[in-house]
Amino acid sequence: MASSSILPNLFLMISCLLPCVCFSTDTLKQGQSLNSNLTIVSANGVFELGFFSRGQSQNIYLGIWYKKIPTQTVVWTANRDYPIRSPSCSLSINREGNLVISDGRGVTLSFTTIDHTNSNTSATLLNSGNLILRDNMGNTNSDVYMWQSFDYPTDTLLPGMKLGYNTSTGHVMSLTSWTTSEDPSPGVFSLSLNSVSELVLNNTKVAGPKGYWNREVSSFFIDFRPSDIFEFVYFDDQYSKYLTYRVYNMSISSRLVVDSSGKVKQFIMIPEGWWGLFWEQPRPSCQVYALCGSYSSCNDKLIPNCNCLRGFQPNSLREWRQQVWSAGCVRNAPLQCGSKDRSLPIKNVKLPVNPTFVDASNADRCELECLKNCSCNAYAYSISRGCSLWKGDLVGVEQLESGGYDLFLRVAAAELEKINGGKREIGLDLLSFDFSTKTNAVNGELSDKNKNASGEKWEAELPFFNFSSISTATDNFSDANKLGQGGFGLVYKGKLRNGQEVAIKRLSRGSKQGLEELKNEATLIAKLQHRNLVRLLGCCIEDEEKILIYEYMPNKSLDFFIFDHRNKTILDWEKRIFIIEGIAQGLLYLHQHSRLRIIHRDLKASNILLDNQMKAKISDFGMARIFGGNELQGNTGRVVGTYGYMSPEYVMEGLFSIKSDVFSFGVLLIEILSSKRNTGYHFTDSLSLLEHAWKLWNNQRGHELIDPTLLDPSTVLKALRCVNVALLCVQELACDRPTMSEVVTMLSNEETTLPSPKQPAFCTRSSIEKSSSLNKLAVSSTNYVTITSINGR
């Protein structure tokens, strides 16, 4: 039995690895069969029809995609509701003239609707991407088809396709998203034209028939204005009402997509086969109706956008982790109905949809009206609105920064006690503490324990936290509160008594190297204040425990986004530029404007944290060094840093300066633009990212370096300018690199003329290890693990 189940899966895996073989023509005739490893290609070579699967799924679909694009872009799927799981599937035309999919086990699926026997039918994939059925003996008009895929769109609208309905037959042509980016089955978001010719996305009006041009819309606007590339046209006659569009230049490929996040996006092809985002709507994700499902709130300032309301948990944790939130949330504890239920306030929100208004003279009476009605799930009261009750699922709650209402959520009394009472015990006892002068005042023994092996005291003015309180705040450092692991210890999430969330960095016991860095970090950050530097709130030195407490960054670190194929789409062009400018401003402060002149020495993507507004915060100052006002360059026998980010003079000679940080910034800038790591990623010619960037730039192909999801006509020049700045920062000689002051000017002032960059320093691991071997020191690290010790020559 085991072997019989393995063989089909093995066959499927092997068949997916084999290259597809194309039919010699664009047509499938009766009597022919298109197997799973065969495809049909349109006459112009643009579109391809065949079988495909996504991710780790064994589901097989028949679809149409662009042939010459590196990343498969599917534009139509025949059997999205009924996937095939047999690798021996095939496509053919039966004796009735219908297209049928066979699974090789006797099960067939017909997805066309010809209702009479026809022995001379053929299927052709047109240059437009339209799959048609034609009667070769019937009507000779080539524009009259027995069936066409353009009448049955899935999630994509190609030029010439229609979005609307047939008034005589009632047939509707609408777009429905994929469930996820890896699952073609129908998702929860659909775009259609309703009976009064309004374009609606999940029942929310997008535009009226004349609103395409003048923005007379009720919610958000889909940008159907004329452009130099394509034109949208609305038709209304006695047979049909529909919206379509055409491109002026037929050599330009364009597609409109409703994606799995509920956004409508228009893409155009840019050189070398990559897609550029021309526009998307709605830009604030929370304007997508029911994006987060029921009993959850949406916040455009947070990643992810959706969070369950207090007292609720995800209905499907698996989907929630995939950022598919439409299933919403469910209660942790059922309502008791009556006096055992309580009201939980949620401040400053956009209220849910579909309220019921009742007479109540004040907030107390409004609460009573809700609690005495067992179907009431929430209420809100204001002088302007009166009393609003919600008797069904709560949908459309949006967290606002200001100007919102207070929503009172009905929860079981036991759940409210758990939410409020449980957190009341969590807090940190705070004492004023100065390592250099107040040690004995706090703890007579702490003075001795607050020294390193050489007896040197810490000199940092920081609040001091009690260890037992920290342990309580992190639930005794439970794995559930673990955020990650740094070079010398673990990082946990905790919560202060006042409700403030914090990040707690706990040094591993016995780590002398880590103690030096922890001390260095506490000493430096305590004296620094800038919006683009992470804020240190305090520390704990108790027995063998050495802990730092920071402000909590809800959106994790930059590497979480730019190096993940799914998360990187969250950082659009505007967000990435905002992050780049924030990092540059933070470095400029360190190098020039702070009380101390500081070189970070370990700038990398994982050390850039992001707050709830995606503001960049430079973190981890354990390896930083203070420079005197007239000091230009330092020398060290212990080189520390991260492969791929260290400047050549630092790696090879142990020399460091502010230009070392500039080099690291240049590498980081290229990574942000390309969504690829500098090391650990090799191109077809075995080049590192820096070498690849330099090669593309020299060949006037710099746009190919940039993540294709970021490019559109409005951003390409700015993106290329950023590539230029990045290459200036990674030039081999430190004296050729700009200062951070010059970098900030280059990024912010587009009128500034940029010089041509010289060849970068291709600092590879092999060159570092060769240098290290001269000192009989073996080093092993990766792009995201910090080097602790390398001796310079």
Q: What is residue 517's predicted lDDT score, i.e. its pLDDT? A: 66
Q: What is residue 647's predicted lDDT score, i.e. its pLDDT? A: 80
Provide the token pair at 354: 């579909």
Q: Give the span between the Cα atoms of 521 and 327, in whole angstroms.
A: 44
Task: Let me know: does 589 contact 582? Beta carbons within 8 Å.
Answer: no
Task: Let me know: does 131 contact 49? Beta carbons within 8 Å.
Answer: yes
Answer yes or no: is pLDDT of 325 > 70: yes
387-401 tens-digit pLDDT: 999 998 999 899 887
**Residue among 311, 314, 315 at smallest CA distance from 345:** 311
DSSP string, 72-111: --EEEES-TTS-B--TT-EEEE-TTS-EEEE-SSS-EEE-
Pair type for strands 386-390 and 461-465 = unpaired
Task: Return the sign of the alpha-carbon dihedral for residues 366, 367, 373, 375.
Answer: positive
Provide the token pair at 405: 């209402």
Q: What is residue 159's predicted lDDT score, i.e. its pLDDT? A: 94
26, 183, 559, 602: the catalytic one is 602
Average pLDDT of the chain to the nearest whole number: 77
Average pLDDT for 673-697: 79
224 vs 9: which has the higher pLDDT: 224
Pair type for strands 386-390 and 329-331 = unpaired
Task: Let me know: does 344 contact 416? Beta carbons within 8 Å.
Answer: yes
Say if residue 29 carries a ligand binding annotation. Answer: no
Residue percentage of the chain with pLDDT more than 70: 74
Q: What is residue 524's predicted lDDT score, i.e. its pLDDT? A: 67
Q: Is 620 a catalytic residue?
A: no
Average pLDDT for 204-213: 44
Element (H, E) at 370: helix 363-371
Q: What is residue 601's predicted lDDT score, i.e. its pLDDT? A: 86
Q: Give the span between the Cα atoms of 280 and 239, in whole angstroms.
A: 31
Instruction: Please give the radius of gyration of the chain, using alpha carbons only, rounded to the nearest integer.
Output: 31
Taken in order of first residue, the domains within the chain and their CATH numbers are 1-152 (2.90.10.10), 287-424 (3.50.4.10), 430-551 (3.30.200.20), 558-790 (1.10.510.10)
566-593 tens-digit pLDDT: 889 899 999 999 999 999 999 999 988 8
45-58 tens-digit pLDDT: 999 999 999 877 88
DSSP label at 591?
A: I
Would you tell me how many other CB atoms lie within 10 Å of the CB of residue 411?
25
Answer yes or no: is pLDDT of 3 > 50: no
616-674 tens-digit pLDDT: 999 887 777 776 444 445 444 444 557 678 888 877 777 778 899 999 999 999 999 99
Q: Secondary structure of 644-710 in the HEC alphabet?
A: CCCCHHHHHHCEECHHHHHHHHHHHHHHHHHCCCCCCCCCCCCCCHHHHHHHHHHCCCHHHHCCHHH
The amino acid that residue 763 corresponds to is C
